[in-house]
């Protein structure tokens, strides 16, 4: 199963790496910005089409809104999320817990980006059953658990359709 992992990078690089290792050691194929080769296309032109080749979308929201493509105000992460929803990819959303201990450098300080982050997080919380995480390991095991539950649901749906 190909799993596209979407998040900001600066604050969640360690989370992404632990999750990549957990996914790959559990038989999943990790897809994300770390796997994009050097390309003459803009990053968004590489990331959005990559989603179409994935089976599941994992969104991790921390406390930074992230960078935006030139001329846009919506972050790469939110644009990836929107594309995943257009493609109707099963979505597993993880949100940083309010009581998580984080580096103060990883807190959004730009008021406009903070407002967009809060709006984005609220929309995700409205649309999905999310899991909250406090550290890198908790995020990884919660993603693995969500994927196993999704696979079980797929198997049960297939068995029910056969009867």
Domain of residue 83 covers 2-162
Averaged pLDDT of the chain: 94
Instruction: Provide, rounded to the nearest whole percent, the portion of the chain with pLDDT above 90.
Output: 82
Query: What's the rounded mean pLDDT across residues 152-160?
Result: 89
Report the CATH number at residue 100. 3.40.50.10140
What pLDDT is recorded for position 163?
Answer: 67
- Domain count across the chain: 1
Residue 43 or residue 109, greater confidence? 109
Nearest-5° Cα angle at 145, 142 to 18 = 50
Q: Note whether 146 and 92 are within 8 A (CB).
A: yes
> Is the pLDDT score of 106 beyond 90?
no
Q: How far is CA 85 from CA 24, 51, 67, 138, 159, in A?
A: 24, 10, 20, 25, 26
Of 82-86, 140-144, 157-161, least confident by mean pLDDT is 157-161
Q: What's the mean pLDDT in 74-85?
A: 97
Say whether pLDDT at 91 is over 90.
yes
The per-residue pLDDT for 77 is 97
pLDDT number for residue 101: 84
């Amino acid at each position: 199963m190909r799993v596209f992992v979407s998040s900001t990078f600066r604050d969640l690089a360690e989370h992404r790496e632990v999750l990549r290792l957990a996914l790959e050691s559990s038989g999943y194929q990790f897809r994300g910005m770390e796997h994009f080769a050097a390309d003459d296309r803009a990053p968004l032109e590489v990331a959005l089409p990559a989603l179409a080749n994935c089976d599941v979308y994992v969104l991790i929201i921390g406390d930074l809104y992230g960078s935006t493509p030139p001329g846009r105000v919506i972050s790469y992460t939110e644009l990836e999320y929107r594309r995943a929803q257009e493609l109707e990819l099963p979505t597993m959303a993880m949100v940083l817990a309010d009581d998580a201990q984080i580096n103060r450098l990883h807190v959004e300080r730009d008021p406009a980006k903070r407002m967009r982050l809060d709006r984005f997080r609220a929309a995700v919380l409205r649309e999905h059953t999310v899991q909250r995480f406090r550290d890198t390991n908790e995020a990884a095991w919660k993603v693995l658990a969500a994927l196993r539950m999704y696979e079980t649901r797929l198997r049960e749906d297939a068995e029910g359709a056969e009867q």
